[in-house]
Amino acid sequence: MKIPPIMAIDVGGGTQDILLYDPDQPIENAVKLVLPSPTVIAARRVAAVTRAGRPLFLSGRVMGGGAVGKAVRSHIESGLKVFSLPDPALTLHDDLDKVASWGVSLVESRPDGEAVEVVLGDVDLEAIGATLSRFEVSLPQVTVLAIQDHGFSPRASNRLTRFAQWRRFLDAGGDIGGLIFPQPPAELTRWIAAARAAPGAFFMDTAAAALRGAILDDWAAERLEAGLLAVNVGNEHTVAALVRGRRVWGVYEHHTGLLDSARLADQMERFAAGDLAHEDVFDQYGHGVAFQPGYRDLAPFHEVVVTGPNRALALGLGRMAAPYGEMMLSGCFGLVQAVREHFQDRSERAAGSH
């Protein structure tokens, strides 16, 4: 089966990184974009409404909070009204009673009056397509999205809810091919909302995509069979994985804003040795640590590969990954590789059935 053209969109907390992969041309010649992330764009639009002193109306779909959540809270603190449909209000918190207690009026339709509408959503294919069309570039037929989804958890800790996803992945064997999803799981509401905006899209977690891309670095690829500690220092989260071949042996996740270079170096050393406890991270308001059974029986993974926009925190830990000569597009390269393998596996299964 011939691999089709693929558009990879890596939706982060600061940027959305876009790669248009064409199997008929060198990947170095692919169209590449690094743009403000959807939450940053929405936050700027909310801030403009605040400066204008107007009421705000949120429509669209649930998306990543971050910047837009802070902008909405700032709007309320300015003494201005906020109206929202229920689905986009989930951007602020999964518990809508809590959202209402903050001063957001939940409505079923746009209110009468002077409220200014801001449309929320993690994906805007119309805007991307319009931009590309100006350069005579069409949207590819296959889309794959990297979006970080904590999972719907109106009452439970979203740190534990999110880390439970990593535990399920490890419990299922930790095969790297299990990081891509042709359909969103029911509990991942951001993915489900994005799927409505991009029907038929594949999905990966942003950290999984970045780590998948980092090990495509030539230096890392040569050492993968011996075992690697791969670290993604993102704008919001820092995630690390112990990878040998196609198997992930351990996962670590923390909030980047709570780390400095010394703490990260110490935790990565203990993580690679199998000596870092889940509580050591969770009690610092991170997400946690989990290992595959038997990891301690392996030789420690001494080689380290690092990616992510805040990789300066990890200076000195190991190799700074640059797959295909790019750092900011590590996630996109990981997305494309995962989709390529998905189509190749499907083609091999089809051939084997004849």
DSSP 3-state of 202 = strand
Residue type for position 29: N
pLDDT value at residue 347: 65
Average confidence (pLDDT) over 45-71? 96
- pLDDT tens sequence across 92-132: 999 999 999 999 999 999 998 889 999 999 999 999 999 99
Q: Is the pLDDT of residue 153 over 80?
A: no
- pLDDT tens sequence across 5-33: 999 999 998 899 999 999 999 999 999 99
How far lies 63's CA from each of 38, 69, 124, 159, 204, in Å? 8, 10, 12, 17, 15
What is the distance between the terminal CA atoms of the chain, rounded to a whole angstrom? 14
For 105, phi then psi, to 5°, come to -90, 115
- pLDDT tens sequence across 268-287: 999 999 999 999 999 999 99
Per the CB < 8 A criterion, the answer to whether 220 and 321 are in contact is yes
Between residues 165 and 57, the one the model is more confident about: 57
Domains of the chain from N-terminus onward: 6-22+142-346 (no CATH), 38-120 (3.40.50)
pLDDT value at residue 1: 67
pLDDT value at residue 152: 76
Average confidence (pLDDT) over 322-348? 89
